[in-house]
Amino acid sequence: MMGATEEQFEQARSRMSSLKTDPGNDVKLQIYALFKQATQGPCNTPKPGMLDFVNKVKWEAWRSLGAVPQDEARQKYCDLIGSLVAAEGGKAANGAAVPAGSGPAYETLQVTTEDDITTIKLNRPAKKNAITTEMYNDIIEALNQAAKDDSVLTVFTGAGDFYCSGNDLSNFTNIPEGGVQEQARRGGELLRKYVKAYIDFPKPLVAVVNGPAVGISVTLLGLFDLVYATDQASFHTPFSQLGQSAEGCSSYTFPKIMGPAKASEMLLFNKKLSAVQACELGLVTEVFPDSSFQSEVWTRLKAYAKLPPNSLSLSKQLIRSTEKTLLHQVNDAEVERLMERWTSDECFNAVMSFFQAKARL
């Protein structure tokens, strides 16, 4: 096979950095291995230790290429990047319905405004809409824009079969130069800012839970004004399994909504709720049959969006004003606790065990 030229290889590297859709960990491992083989030849570095799980997986991917020549690896790298770019180009025509120039474009969100409703749709269906660090910043920006636009309601939902699977745990593997302490500090500040955007949001906020919800996508529901769910949805907060603690103000909102004992089942003991159970406990406003979920919910939301907007916004702010200061205090306390958790051996070992269990599947 004729190998790609150095110029073609460099062009492929540039195109790789311009991809807007996360191709997934398996493909990223292929890309990494081909790049290393193309630039350094066959793997001859020592195998990372058992606890260095991320680098161990990357090493094994590179090692699996054996004696593939560098020019052949360059060609395969170029072919793979070319196929990803072509696939993304095919999707571009089906992108978000926001007209050009109407607002910022987001890589992993679809933000549209129609019928006086701004919809923020998490758009990583292949990753069950897991939230990356970049997505946190994008959602904060989308909320800030929605707070100022002419829409009456703002709706959160997910693309595909999942509402959201919570944090993308790869967020925990990108350790900056300052080490784990610096990673925890940055993560804490981002989380504080993220939850604050929901606490301070001035308009009615509606969750359209189209499938399973996990982690922070569940804990934040206590800050929404309406939560509509398909009967196929479930609600899971597996914090203690990962050596972590509650966030999204759920340490306050959940006991207030469902009582301390039921809240503890979820937040301490990882109990997963069905949509019907979540509705019975007050976390969900109403549950709809999956077959008619979208049509019933959106018919209702379009009717709500015709109500006088200032009346809705000011009434919401009256309802929330008595506890807004408290919610900010709860957010601060939860973030401080999580920063301590993220730097603990207990959390590190629990997250590594999760990755190792996934690798064995």
Is 109-360 in the same CATH topology as 6-92? no
Higher pLDDT, 10 or 211: 211
pLDDT band for position 120 (cuts 50, 70, 90): very high
Q: Name the average pLDDT for the chain.
A: 88
pLDDT band for position 172 (cuts 50, 70, 90): low
Residue 103: per-residue pLDDT: 55
Judging by beta carbons within 10 Å of its beta carbon (0-12, 13-18, 19+), is residue 17 exposed, middle or buried?
exposed
Model confidence at 241: pLDDT above 80: yes
Lowest-pLDDT range, 76-80, 157-161, 281-285, 310-314?
Answer: 76-80
pLDDT (average), residues 285-303: 97
CATH number of 109-360: 3.90.226.10
pLDDT band for position 174 (cuts 50, 70, 90): low
Cross-strand partners of 192: none
Residue 360: per-residue pLDDT: 65
pLDDT (average), residues 212-233: 98
Closest CA to 134 of 157, 158, 108: 108
Higher pLDDT, 247 or 75: 247
Q: Where are the domains of the chain?
A: 6-92, 109-360
Q: 273 in helix, strand or coil? A: strand
Q: How many CA atoms lie within 13 A of 136 on its CB side?
A: 18
Model confidence at 107: pLDDT above 90: no
CATH number of 6-92: 1.20.80.10
pTM > 0.75: yes or no? no
Q: Where are the beta strands (DSSP E) in the chain?
A: 109-114, 117-122, 153-158, 205-209, 213-214, 226-230, 234-236, 273-274, 286-288
Count of all residues that appear for the chain in the document: 361
Model confidence at 191: pLDDT above 50: yes
Higher pLDDT, 353 or 317: 317
Model confidence at 181: pLDDT above 50: yes
